[in-house]
Amino acid sequence: MYRYDDRDAEFVRERIARFRDQVQRRLRGELGEEEFRPWRLMNGVYLQLHAYMLRVAIPYGTLSAVQLRRLADIAERYDRGYGHFTTRQNIQFNWPRLVDIPDILEQLAEVEMHAIQTSGNCIRNITCDPWAGVAADEIEDPRPWCELLRQWSSDHQEFTFLPRKFKVAVSGGRRDRAAVRIHDIGLRLRHDDEGRTGFEVMVGGGLGRTPILAKTIREWIPGEELLSYLTAILRVYNRYGRRDNKYKARIKILVHELGTEEFRRQVEAEYTAGRRPELARLTVAEIARIRPFFAPPDYADRSPGTDPCAKHAAADDAAFRRWLSVNTAAHRRPDHAIVEISLKPPGGVPGNMTAAQMRLVATLAERCSHGEIRVTAEQNLVLPHVARADLHTVWETLDTAGLATPNLGHLSDIVACPGLDFCALATARSIPVAQAIGRRFADLDRQYEIGPLKLKMSGCINACGHHHVAHIGILGLEKRGRESYQITLGGSGGDEAAIGRVLGPGFAAEEIVDAVERVITTYLTNRRDPRETFLDYLRRVGFQPFKDALYAPV
């Protein structure tokens, strides 16, 4: 993992001091809310439905045991004993007081964490593949580049007052697990024929009220030129992105209005004129400095003679076997596994974790995952380095804390934003709907029969729950003073990214679970065979059977 040097630490401390000063001036009335708001947001603080909310960055989703334990302490001391993991590798606390936030930030800084640019019209937390560094199909660990981007984007002199927020994701796998195409900039790490590291650059993706997938504007930019190239993209956006209408201010609208070709031309012209050799030289030096932090841990000490995991799996331990096949994935080392920790127990709040659970996972990570944890965009955690010999113990331990629900990638592994229970922008609740669906489909055999399925829901058009890229998406709206839930089908993230289509009129809160049930039944009854997944079936037959099932007059 990356560790701060004295300068990184000083940068964060200085930034907190500035924010503390801004908070005090706000409290004394020297700063009005208008002048305060951008600084508040750029330090992760929202004014939500009931209180302030603090969003803490987990840069590129990598977290240490020490950091997770500190999050537990903060949850207990300043919140109500839990935290909420979001779809952007952040954690949110729902109840901090403004006056305490500078102190909280200092406690985070002690463990090399911050809330810098987790909100505001600036470059947000850089996200990446949660399996970075361990995935069997990885081209190269993208995290050194994410760390470079984290530093470069922090307090950027030119790009801190953009027309709108700006999200960057980096993927280093052969498969895209960072959903790069729904980001303002998506980067896919690739090597050229000479083995040099570089990136395919995609621009203009995003969900919200105008969901669009990012387009490739350059097949390959050499690594040392990355920052000059991103500078060019951001400069074109900063200068020409719309500022007259916040719903049209994202870069995707600029790309759309100019056309991809013209946008590319402008970026290339700006890049050619603005290339900075010093930036390239420093990128080379800085990447060389950062890379060793991400060297693999010393796996040797846990390499077993015999694999007790195999013993348990062979034994009649059905529960363990289920978990093993559903919640673990192939590690680049055959004697290790990637363990997914489900934060989606039946009836639970997607992405929520209590302080006690955080401490348990922290300790477990220290004993069995080289002290490392990852946070996923699907609101789960990952233990990235578990020796197969430890899998049974890890499973037992997670199970005692309700963290071993074997539902990864299945229907009850629901992604849900906070919705109207917490969010000031929400038009409907999402948590209770997710809970009800989770309970209805709690039966694991039924979920396995249904097969891989992604259900995601958002409590308003902003789409923080990524419902557009779900196989089954649910969008909560308000219709005449009541909640109304719209179903979207056929979306998908990653490599076969696609934006789902709205099926028809919305359903009332009391009806939505039944409606999902009818969608599922339609698929189960009509699929060609159990190997035909929900998405395959939908792509083969189209929307009509689902429309008939949901809207046909009785």
Partner 1 sequence: MKDSGMETDRRTGTIITANRLRDGRVVFLGAGGWTTEIADATVASDEQERRALEALARQSVVTCEVVAPYPVAVVDDRGRPVPVALRERWRIFGPGPGTETGYAGGGEAVRVPV
Partner 2 sequence: MPLFKNGRFVDDPWLFLADGEPLPGEGMVVVSLARLLGSEAPALADRDGWLGVSLAPAEPVEKLRPWLPRLALVALAFPVFTDGRPFSTARLLRERYGFTGEIRAVGQVLVDQYPFMVRSGFDAFAVPRGSELRGWQERARPHLVYQPDGRGEAPSIWRLRHPDPGPASPRGIPRMTTA
Instruction: Establish if 29 lies at the interface with partner 2 (CB under 8 A).
Output: no
The answer to whether 176 touches 188, Cβ cutoff 8 Å, is: yes
Instruction: Establish if 464 lies at the interface with ligand SF4 (CB under 6 A).
Output: yes
Instruction: Establish if 283 lies at the interface with partner 2 (CB under 8 A).
Output: yes
The dihedrals phi and psi of 124, each to the nearest 5 degrees, come to -85, 180
Binding pattern to partner 2, positions 286-305, x when CB under 8 A? Answer: xx-x-x--xxx---------
Instruction: Establish if 459 lies at the interface with ligand SF4 (CB under 6 A).
Output: yes
User: In terms of CB distance, is 160 or 462 closer to ligand SF4?
Assistant: 462
CB under 8 A: which stretch of 251-259, 280-288, 490-498, 528-536 binds partner 2?
280-288
Per rule CB under 8 A, count of chain residues that contact partner 2: 63
Among 19, 39, 52, 534, binds partner 1 (CB under 8 A): 52
Q: Give least dist CB 43 to partner 1, A.
A: 14
**Kind plus residue range of the DSSP H or E element containing 513:** helix 509-526
**Kind plus residue range of the DSSP H or E element containing 215:** strand 215-222
Q: Give least dist CB 206 to partner 2, A.
A: 19
In angstroms, the CA 220 to CA 190 distance is: 8
In angstroms, the CA 152 to CA 269 distance is: 22
The answer to whether 142 touches 132, Cβ cutoff 8 Å, is: yes
Per rule CB under 8 A, count of chain residues that contact partner 1: 56
In angstroms, the CA 271 to CA 217 distance is: 13
In angstroms, the CA 380 to CA 403 distance is: 10
35 binds, options partner 1, partner 2, ligand SF4, none, Cβ within 5 to 8 A by partner type: partner 2
DSSP 449: H
**Kind plus residue range of the DSSP H or E element containing 264:** helix 260-274
Neighbours of 34 (CB within 10 A): 7
Q: Give least dist CB 68 to partner 2, A.
A: 25
Among 9, 111, 425, 444, binds ligand SF4 (CB under 6 A): 425
330 contact partners, CB below 8 Å, separation of at least 6: 135, 136, 337, 338
Q: Give least dist CB 100 to partner 1, A.
A: 8
User: In terms of CB distance, is 235 or 466 closer to ligand SF4?
Assistant: 466
The answer to whether 183 touches 176, Cβ cutoff 8 Å, is: no
In angstroms, the CA 184 to CA 156 distance is: 17
Q: Give least dist CB 480 to partner 1, A.
A: 6
Q: Which positions lie near partner 1, rule CB under 8 A?
A: 26-29, 33, 47-52, 80-82, 94, 97-99, 343, 345-349, 352-354, 356-357, 359-360, 363-364, 367, 393, 396-397, 400-403, 420-422, 426-429, 431-432, 435, 478, 480-483
Q: Which positions lie near ligand SF4, rule CB under 6 A?
A: 417-419, 423, 425-426, 458-460, 462-465
